[in-house]
Amino acid sequence: MRKHLVVLLLLMAFSIKWAKADEGMWLPYLLGQQTYNDMVKRGLKLTKDQLYSINKASIKDAIVIFGGGCTGEIVSNEGLIFTNHHCGYDAIASASSVEHNYLKNGFYAQNKQQEITSPKLSVQFLVKVDDVTKQVEDVVKGLNGAERAKKEQEIYADIIAKATNGNGYEAKVVPMFKGNQYLLFVYERYTDVRLVGAPPESVGKFGGDTDNWEWPRHTGDFSIFRVYANKDGKPAPYSAENVPLKPKHFLPVSIKGIKENDYAMIFGYPGGTNRYETSYGVELKTTVENPSVVNLRDVRLKAMFEQMKKDPAVKLQLASSYAGIANYWKFFDGETKQLEKYHVLDEKRKQEAAFIKWAQDKPEFAGVFNDYAAAYKAWSPYAKGRIYLTEGVLGSPVAAFAGSLTGLERALATANVPKETLQQAIEAAKAARTNFLAAENKPSDQKILAATCHMFYTDIPKDQQPGGFYDELKAKYGPLDEDKTYNMWAANLMANTMIFNDAKWNAFIANPDAVTLQNDPAFAYASAFLKNYQGKYLPLYQQFVAKNNDLGREYLKGVMQMQPNANRYPDANFTMRVSYGQVKPYSPRDAVNYDYVCTMKGVIEKYVPGDYEFDLPANYVDLYNKKDFGQYKDAKRNDVVVCFITTNDITGGNSGSPVINANGELIGLAFDGNYEALSHKIQFDSNYNRTICVDVRYVLWCIEKLGGAKNIINELKLVK
């Protein structure tokens, strides 16, 4: 009896840990009554159907996947979209030139004719979701590892083919709860998306990487696009004949302002969390993976920045790639620090001990953690080498491009390869080279090449290196522990590869052969490292991933049996979620209290004229001094609120997501998480976790007062 009581108490403690207030990225499609009731208790005024319905227009119809990894929301009946500046960044940079520098100076279309087509962009609406667990499980039941993965792919393909047959939709089957449930998501993708407006980068990225992932934050992180359709409202490639999409639903915009404890709901596409990560995973991440990524990115960023600050054309060319690398460089560094600070490893070990105890008389689950230990033991020695390949060697753009030519090499080296296959490989290589050259900055790349090749030599065990490559390097260029050797080698590679030499490249393409390719110094380099990895370590990695998938599925199945009544959400996996919470301040550390809003006063305080990160547009300070806040002034603060924070549980991918009040109106755009909660992918902490949102009143102030684009304001449905 007593023993049982102990177990029961342990279980209760365990489940409380996993069901904290504010935590949760819920599937709107499967919103349980318990979750909905809690939303109402916290202030929500809408019915479940108003949040998500497949028959009637609902909030879900105003939410889009924006581009490849962000969220956007429809805010007018003419398909106007709000998202973050950092989500529109690449499109804004691509639309810019040194003469018409929209990234630097901002841009607002005064009418639809002035909107700028963004060929790389698309938006996707969620059409419906179906539970296909039974269909998948009928096929994969009892299977494990590679065999299961193969069968899964087959049944997914069947299900998708049926769901998209003749309707132009796209679909995906996504495992939930690490493969204990399978959902089908059907999307409609629109490819005619045009840039409507963006603030100058000094506003849209105010604070740069110094302030990134930090509160207090003063960034006007928004940009504006419009989705076009053909006359029937269906997706169509760009055409002057296309018309703005009439959406099923759009969000009204509330400029009433926010106060502490207000209800806040965020719909969007969180990319990934791993809340059921094991202690083994946390340990590998914090000791090997994260520090490696951070070291390698540090070198790459420094080389890029050195060139970007010298030349506005290079700045424009590298801006988007730089921002992406920098964003997760800081993230991974902070993630390690926070995981350590909150003792997440110990926490995980305690949870696992409870599970092991529960599982000891259950053969299905008893061995899970022994197997985890074995899987990590087998893979860990090679984990660093994998990161040094992907983030280091292939972090050099020329090496990455050269490495992509291994497909062509294979085609060339295969006897009797069909003519079409070869031609396809050649055409692909030509197109990839054009894209590569447009994005290439040789001086920074040469530095990256030299530095990462040296780091691989220094940091990775010798028996895991492509020894032949380094032997030759030593023979030709000198001692392997000297920078000079790598610098000479990299300079030589850049000068002699056919990749930068049109005459040599064209001669090769006109009459391609494997030997010429293999003798190219860039190709030889990339392929030496790729083949070294693919031959020995990739199979081990694949085994590790497959084993981890199997064990994760088992572990979670066990956890769900152990706590059958817990209200549980699946890990984020870039499917639509809703999270709810409140506007709330926090205390990051002893004696420090952070307010839940910040204002333009703080922008001015941070302003450093001419600075790379803290500059402001010319008219900004004037407007501020005149207190020209219009209808966007916050009465209490006698200023414009720039950003605010909420307790919502979100992650990368949610960028651009609407922050919605209790009535279903837009009050802000989520754009970041705070530093103290960078451990959030693995563990949510309601004391420290905050979502950083740009207040929609600041967005509108920037559009109207700073940008003079009243036409955009007129299109919105304002709630005053």
Q: Is 300 a binder of ligand ARG (CB under 6 A)?
A: no
φ/ψ of residue 583, rounded to 5:
-70, 120
Minimum CB separation from ligand ARG for residue 415, in Å?
A: 48
b/e per residue 570-586 (b: at least 16 CB within 10 A): bbbbbbbbbbbbbbbeb
**Active-site annotation holder among 209, 221, 649, 672:** 221
CA–CA gap between residue 333 and residue 293 (Å, rounded): 9
φ/ψ (deg, to 5) at 269: -120, 70
Residues 423-482 that bind ligand ARG (CB under 6 A): none
Catalytic-residue membership of 221 = yes
Q: State which of residues 655, 683, 689, 691 lies at the interface with ligand ARG (CB under 6 A).
A: 655
Q: Which residues, numbered 375-434, are part of the site for ligand ARG (CB under 6 A)?
A: none
| Between 208 and 588, CB nearer to ligand ARG | 208
15/564 Cα distance (integer angstroms): 10
Residue 611 dihedral angles phi and psi, to the nearest 5°: -70, 155
Nearest to ligand ARG of 69, 407 (CB atom): 69
Residues 312-371 that bind ligand ARG (CB under 6 A): 323, 326-327
Give SS3 for 100.
Answer: coil
Judged by CB under 6 A, which stretch of 170-178, 205-213, 480-488, 582-590 contacts ligand ARG? 205-213
Least distance (Å) between residue 207 CB and ligand ARG: 7
- Which residue in the list 22, 58, 76, 86 is annotated as catalytic? 86
Q: Which residue in the list 655, 679, 680, 695 is annotated as catalytic?
A: 655
> CA-to-CA distance for 322 and 82, rounded, in angstroms?
23
- Cα gap 506→426, rounded to integer Å: 11
Q: What is the DSSP letter of 367?
A: T
Q: Which stretch binds ligand ARG (CB under 6 A): 201-209, 235-243, 398-406, 508-516?
A: 201-209
Nearer to ligand ARG, 222 or 671 (CB): 671
Minimum separation from the CB atom of position 513 to ligand ARG (A):
44
Are the CB atoms for 151 and 139 separated by under 8 Å? yes
Nearer to ligand ARG, 209 or 665 (CB): 209
Q: From the CB of 672, what's the least distance to ligand ARG, in Å?
A: 4
Q: Considering only residues 679-708, where is the footprint of ligand ARG by CB under 6 A?
A: none
DSSP string computed for 269-335 = ------TT--HHHHHHIIIIIHHHHHHHHHHHHHHHHHHHTT-HHHHHHHHHHHHHHHHHHHHHHHH
CB closer to ligand ARG out of 35 and 290: 290
Smaller CB distance to ligand ARG: residue 192 or 209? 209
Stretch that binds ligand ARG, among 5-13, 160-168, 204-212, 615-623 (CB under 6 A): 204-212
**CA 268, CA 78: separation in Å to the nearest integer?**
21
For residue 45, how many other CB atoms are within 10 A of its CB? 12
Minimum Å gap between C-beta 325 and ligand ARG is 9
> Among all chains, which residue has been given the structure tokens 């754009």?
671
Q: What's the min distance (Å) between Cβ of 297 and ligand ARG?
A: 12
Give the nearest distance from C-beta 592 to ligand ARG in angstroms.
Answer: 22
How far apart CA 642 and CA 607 sit, in angstroms, is 14
Residue 8 CB-density burial (10 A; 0-12 exposed, 13-18 middle, 19+ buried): exposed
Length of the chain: 720
CB of 212 to ligand ARG, least distance (A): 4
By CB under 6 A, tell whether 205 contacts ligand ARG: yes
For ligand ARG, the closer of residues 219 and 527 by Cβ is 219
Angstrom distance (rounded) from CA 708 to CA 105: 13
By C-beta, is 298 or 352 nearer to ligand ARG?
A: 298
Does position 209 interact with ligand ARG (CB under 6 A)? The reply is yes
Q: Where does this chain touch ligand ARG (CB under 6 A) — which range of 181-189, 206-214, 347-355, 475-483? A: 206-214
Residues 27-86 that bind ligand ARG (CB under 6 A): 86
- Count interface residues toward ligand ARG (CB under 6 A): 13
- In whole angstroms, the minimum distance from the beta carbon of 205 to ligand ARG comes to 6
What is the rounded distance in angstroms from the CA atom of residue 559 to the CA atom of residue 168?
40
**C-beta closer to ligand ARG: residue 84 or 549:** 84
Rounded least distance, CB 614 to ligand ARG, Å = 12
Q: What are phi and psi for residue 530, nearest 5 degrees?
A: -65, -45
Contact stretch for ligand ARG (CB under 6 A) within 30-38, 135-143, 209-217, 554-562: 209-217
Q: Where are the alpha helices (DSSP H) in 585-630?
A: 600-606, 618-625
Q: How far is CA 173 from CA 133, 480, 536, in A?
A: 10, 48, 31
- How many angstroms separate the CA atoms of 194 and 95, rounded? 10
Q: Whose Cβ is closer to ligand ARG: residue 205's or residue 249's?
A: 205
x-marked contacts with ligand ARG along 86-105 as a string, rule CB under 6 A: x-------------------
- Residue 495, C-beta contacts closer than 8 angstroms, at least 6 positions apart: none
Identify residues 633-652 at the interface with ligand ARG (CB under 6 A): 652
CB 275 within 8 A of CB 684: yes
ω before 418 within 30° of 0 (cis)? no
- Give the burial string for 605-624 (b: 16+ CB within 10 Å, else e): ebbeeeeebbbbbeebeebb
Residue number, 208 or 478, with CB nearest to ligand ARG: 208
- In angstroms, what is the minimal distance from the CB of 204 to ligand ARG? 9
Give me the active site residues, please.
86, 221, 655
Q: Which residues bind ligand ARG (CB under 6 A)?
A: 86, 205, 208-209, 212-213, 323, 326-327, 652, 655, 671-672
